[in-house]
Amino acid sequence: MRGAAAPDRPSFRLNPFAFPSDTTSRFILLLLFAIAASVLIWSSMAMLGLSLQAGFASCSPDMAATVNTLRDQLGIAMEHLQQGTAIPQAPTVDVAQCYRPLNRRILPAMAIGAGLLASFTLGIWWLHPRWLASRMKLSRLEDDDAPELVAALARICSEAGLRRPPEFYWNPLGMAPRALAYGRAGRYRLALTGAMAMRYSTDPPGFRAVILHELAHIVNRDIDKTWLAVGAWWALVASALVPRVALQFWIPFRWIDVAATLVQVAAIAGLVFVTRNAMLRARELYADARASVWISDSDAMAAALSALRPVRGVRRLLSPHPDPAHRLRLLEATDPLFRAGFWDLLGVGAATSLGAAIIGIVGANVGNVALPGAGWAFLLQFALPVLVITPLASVAAGIIIWRASFASLVRGTQPRAALRGGVAAGLGTVLGTMVAQAGGLPVWVAAGGPSTPPMMAAGMAMWATILFLSPIMGLIWVEAAAKTWIPIALRRTHRGASLKAAVGLNCAFTVPWFALAGPFLLALAVLWLLAPAIVGPILYATFNAFPLNVLGSFSVAATWGFPMAAWLWRRPVTPGIAEWAFLEPPRPALPHLTLPLAPGRSIAIGLAAGMVAGVMLGWVQVPWAPTLNLGVEQTPETTRFVAMMVTAVLVQAAVAALVVFAVSGVRVIQAMFAAFVAGNVLAIALCLQMWEFDPTLIVLCLQVSYGFIIIGGDVAALPSALIAAIIKAGWRRVGSRLGSRESTFTGSSPSQRVPRAAIVADG
Amino acid sequence: MAEVVDQELVADLARDLVGAIAPGELPLFGAMSKAWFADPGRVQTKQGDDVLAFGVAEAAALLSPVLLAAATHALNYAGEELGRNLSTASVAWLREQLRHLFHRQDSGVSLDAQQIAKVRAITLETARRFRIPKQKAEEIADAVTARFAPTS
């Protein structure tokens, strides 16, 4: 089939195994959903079964009073900050004490839920070979049974290069043609029905295609995941959903409880079922891709796939099998395996926030019961989700974007998955949070449905906004890094460690973004709502206090430094065609791929702008400066100093915007780099101004200003660069529509066409 | 007279039928008939675990179990009908005559038209239980009855 491809079809297939597959990310997602769902259901069962709603409601603090107390305390703190005196410790009300007995009663239920899910899942995974053998009436296929069949199977196994062939089982009286790879922990089996087995003589190419497909599951290492996923679904049904429904018949009847049960059970069952089947579909597609490489006669593979039952309409989302038409298309081009699916990323977002919320609830319960002091409970509630969930989410979402970027770059188009994917992940994150918060509805109802203070509502709205925007920003950054590192890897014959390291580092770097930047921004936003005057001093104190100033500067440097570091590896030791990027020959050279970085230009603009602005800093400053706690008495000189720092921050924002218009490639990253360069020049220039008063002041000056200028500068440069990039993109779009720009394409086929506009000179 | 029909006789007739109707199944017929005689309950018309298996959408892809079942039922009926008036000592002789009959050789026994119609009905019923499409069931029934019809 590939040989007979139409001229406008891609002449090469991308290697979907160059990156971790969707099967893995969907599997992790499913496990997260299942665990979160089980704990959530069992905690709601404890609430209903043990009638704990009223207890939780009575412990809930009066939200309006809490907001007022917080505002008063912040006002006092601000006064002390301005006077430079220590902030007095406010008396605290031990709410944790009130919750403790309730926590003690709800925790065992959560533990039972998690324990049952784990044991049922592992049990199904462990026992499935026996269950299948009984269900399919299988027996071991011995040499004596059918020597020619056994020989044919051995031959196919050696074609697949299996180090350890599976054990073959069969039911010679199975009348429907079926083949299935199964097993656990490295001991895999392949089951055949008689109807499938006889094809070794009636249809050898078709038989080979099916067996190779099944062997591909073994090579792709998806069998354990598959049976754990199947186990997780049935375990959830048996250990959580059925008991939840059964409980409803045991407790006193209330319509609200019945409605809540139905909604909860349907939502959770639907979510886990759809995720499980999405994973099962993905594994089939990857097995097809693997098998199609082994099968030189792709007509046989196409014939085997054509014989499968079609999956139409909405069943495509619900079926565990992909539509055969979709599978056939993969024989021509594997590009669909690289798409950043909207629903996949929505799922990642939902799993992240739902999982984080559940872990937070468990952490708070455990902390309050088992650890001394409310601080521990608070720490477990917020730190545990960050430590457990955020890395998983970063890896899952990050890999999806890397894959999509890879496909776009090889095909010669601009990667554009991050924005759409980020919106999906953001929506999912908000959705997951809402589902988790809905779990608190019974308590809210039991408390008499108290109104939410406007301050609290505004805080929640901000939190939702931050949750929505964080994945967008994070994934745009991931895409920028992929844009610079993938061309580097594509200049090498072998993928090597550099790409793996780049993907790993990229995912690791997004963790602080998701985990720390979001809560920090929320805290700032809430502070701004409660006491706007305190935000400036808090920011200054955060950016300039050791070690936050060092860590903060390092983090902002990593933001641009990681993508730009690709430039250092731009010349491969052994250049060649990137064989790893393609499934099979032909493996084309990719002349359109150039590094989208021009660091020389960014440095020049940053240095020049920094020096010009640095010289002018003594005369031109912003007319307004916030009151900051510099640790010295406030004088006109200190106010002027603060104004100069703020000016330095704003100059970096302007430099970032300028660079966006002056360079091509990954503009925002280069803009932030230029802003960093300018920031350093400005920090030195600012402190040189102190030289004329006292040369020894220069060190002190750098201590009190460097962190604020560099971190503040990058924080200001980011939105500035983004806005400039949006304006530039809009401008170019209008220009191209008016016909002022011409697009010239290279490449032999439309799908390989590379707009010249996308070709960027190496810096 | 159940002992008239033994496994060898059934396998003999079934192999003959497989050779005529589904010759592609002959290489595995030995293993299939062995499994059938060991446990006829292993026959599965609709195979389990479609969720994960590579399953081709094809009905009645395997006919050997149907032909084995049809041969068993047809021979049992014929054996009972023909052996009604025979002594125990003639069982071996009757078995041999049945073998000659379905191999279209000179045989000392024969079924009348009514009995042949009954063989056909039994075969069709067997095929129906195996969810064989009607056209294929007719073909099987024709093949079986042809083996019991008198040679002219």
Which residues, at least 6 apart from A78, have a Cβ–Cβ distance to it below 8 Å?
A: A531, A533, A534, A537
CB within 8 Å: B44 and A173: yes
Q: Which residue has the higher pLDDT, A677 or A434?
A: A677
- Tell me the nearest-neighbour CA distance from A514 into chain B, angstroms: 36
Confidence of residue B60 (pLDDT cuts 50, 70, 90): low
Mean pLDDT of A22-29: 81
Q: Report pLDDT for B97.
A: 81
Q: How far apart are CA A405 and CA A416, in angstroms?
A: 8
Beta strand segments in A160-234, E: 167-171, 178-184, 187-193
Q: Which of A272, A269, A200 is nearest to A29 (CA)?
A: A272
Q: How far apart are CA A397 and CA A348, in angstroms?
A: 7
Average the pLDDT over each of A156-170, A429-443, A661-675 and give the range with the smallest value: A429-443
Q: How far apart are CA A301 and CA A1, in angstroms?
A: 9
Mean pLDDT of B101-118: 81
Q: What number is the ipTM of this complex?
A: 0.90
Peptide bond between residue A547 and the one before it cis (omega within 30 degrees of 0): yes
Select the residue from B56, B66, B131 to test the A interface by mutation, using most A Cβ atoms within 10 A. Answer: B56
Q: Report pLDDT for A442.
A: 67
pLDDT value at A536 more than 60: yes
Chain A, residues 468-507, CB within 8 A of chain B, namely none
Facing residue for A201 by CB, picked from B24, B41, B46: B24
Q: Report pLDDT for A4.
A: 39
Q: If you average pLDDT over each of A267-276, A358-367, A678-687, B54-63, which comes out highest?
A: A678-687
- Average per-residue pLDDT in chain A? 81
Q: Report pLDDT for A745.
A: 34
Chain A residues with CB-CB distance to B35 below 8 A:
139, 171-173, 194
Q: Which of B110, B108, B93 is nearest to B148 (CA)?
A: B110
pLDDT value at A661 more than 80: yes
What Rg, from alpha-carbon coordinates, does chain A have? 30
Laid out side by side, the sheet with A178-184 consists of A139-140, A167-171, A187-193, A178-184, B54-55
Is A171 strand, coil or helix? Answer: strand
Residue A29 token pair: 């997602």
Whether A415 contacts A405, CB under 8 Å: yes
Q: Report pLDDT for A511.
A: 66
Among all chains, which residue has been given the structure tokens 């640095």? A614
Q: Report pLDDT for A6.
A: 36
- Tell me the nearest-neighbour CA distance from A280 into chain B, angstroms: 8
Average the pLDDT over each of A67-76, A163-172, A664-673 and give the range with the smallest value: A67-76
Is A498 strand, coil or helix? Answer: helix
For A477-502, write each residue's pLDDT tens digit: 889 889 998 888 888 777 766 667 77
Confidence of residue A2 (pLDDT cuts 50, 70, 90): very low
Chain A, residues 209-228, CB within 8 A of chain B, namely 210, 213-214, 226
Q: Report pLDDT for A444.
A: 73
Closest CA in chain B for residue A209 = B54
| CB proximity A304 to B under 8 Å | yes
Select the residue from A178, A228, A230 to test the B interface by mutation, using most B Cβ atoms within 10 A. Answer: A178
- Sequence spans of domains, chain A: 17-126+224-545, 129-219, 596-758
* Burial profile A620-629: b = 16 or more Cβ within 10 angstroms, e = fewer: ebeeebebbb
| CB proximity A194 to B under 8 Å | yes
Altogether, the residues listed in chain A come to a count of 763
Mean pLDDT of B74-101: 78
For A700-715, write each residue's pLDDT tens digit: 788 778 888 888 888 8
Whether A385 contacts A378, CB under 8 Å: no
- Tell me the nearest-neighbour CA distance from B43 into chain A, angstroms: 5
Q: How far apart are CA A397 and CA A403, in angstroms?
A: 10
Select the residue from A130, A148, A175 to test the B interface by mutation, using most B Cβ atoms within 10 A. Answer: A175
Average the pLDDT over each of A144-153, A288-297, A730-739 and give the range with the smallest value: A730-739
Q: How far apart are CA A269 and CA A556, in angstroms?
A: 42
Confidence of residue B69 (pLDDT cuts 50, 70, 90): very high
CB within 8 Å: A173 and B56: no
Distance of CA A708 to the CA centre of its chain: 30
Is A757 strand, coil or helix? Answer: helix
**Which is it for the CA torsion A706, A712, A715, A720, positive or negative?**
negative
Which residues, at least 6 apart from A140, have a Cβ–Cβ distance to it below 8 Å?
A: A167, A168, A169
Phi and psi torsions of A556, nearest 5°: -65, -35
Distance of CA A424 to the CA centre of its chain: 11
For A544-565, write each residue's pLDDT tens digit: 777 777 777 887 888 888 889 8
Chain A, residues 320-359, CB within 8 A of chain B, namely 320
Whether A235 contacts A116, CB under 8 Å: yes
A620: enclosing H helix or E strand = none
Among all chains, which residue has been given the structure tokens 């026959």? B43
Is A575 strand, coil or helix? Answer: strand
φ/ψ region of A452 (left if φ > 0, alpha if ψ in -120 to 50, else beta) reads beta
Confidence of residue A260 (pLDDT cuts 50, 70, 90): confident
- Average per-residue pLDDT in chain B? 83
Residues of B with a Cβ under 8 Å from any A Cβ are 24-25, 27-28, 30-32, 34-36, 39, 41-62, 64-66, 130
| CB proximity A198 to B under 8 Å | yes
Mean pLDDT of A184-211: 91
Confidence of residue A573 (pLDDT cuts 50, 70, 90): low
For A582-594, write each residue's pLDDT tens digit: 888 777 777 777 7
Q: How far apart are CA A332 and CA A11, in angstroms?
A: 8
Whether B124 contacts B137, CB under 8 Å: yes
CB within 8 Å: A173 and B32: yes
CATH classification of A129-219 is 3.30.2010.10, yes or no?
yes
Question: What single DSSP character describes residue A5?
Answer: -
State percent of chain A over pLDDT 90. Answer: 26
Q: Report pLDDT for A7.
A: 36
Confidence of residue B152 (pLDDT cuts 50, 70, 90): low
Chain B residues with CB-CB distance to A327 below 8 A:
none
Mean pLDDT of A138-150: 92
Residue A763 token pair: 């810096």
Average the pLDDT over each of A16-20, A246-250, A419-423, A511-515 and give the range with the smallest value: A511-515
For A49-94, write each residue's pLDDT tens digit: 887 777 877 777 777 777 777 777 777 777 776 666 776 666 655 6
Q: Which residue has the higher pLDDT, B129 or A457?
A: B129
Confidence of residue A626 (pLDDT cuts 50, 70, 90): low
Q: Report pLDDT for A525.
A: 76
Select the residue from B26, B34, B62, B136 to test the A interface by mutation, using most A Cβ atoms within 10 A. Answer: B62
Is B139 strand, coil or helix? Answer: helix
Is A319 strand, coil or helix? Answer: coil
CB within 8 Å: A194 and B62: yes
For A319-333, write each residue's pLDDT tens digit: 888 888 888 888 888
Which residues, at least 6 apart from B98, have a Cβ–Cβ distance to it below 8 Å?
A: B4, B5, B9, B75, B78, B79, B82, B107, B109
Which residues, at least 6 apart from B24, have a Cβ–Cβ distance to it below 8 Å?
A: A198, A201, A202
pLDDT value at A751 more than 60: no
Q: If you average pLDDT over each of A247-256, A280-289, A743-752, which comes out highest?
A: A280-289
Mean pLDDT of B95-106: 80
Average the pLDDT over each of A8-17, A87-96, A202-211 and give the range with the smallest value: A87-96
**Which is it for the CA torsion A696, A697, A698, A699, positive or negative?**
positive
pLDDT value at A182 more than 90: yes
Confidence of residue A628 (pLDDT cuts 50, 70, 90): low
Average the pLDDT over each of A184-188, A368-372, A740-744 and give the range with the smallest value: A740-744
Whether A224 contacts A125, CB under 8 Å: yes
Q: Which residue has the higher pLDDT, A68 or A155?
A: A155
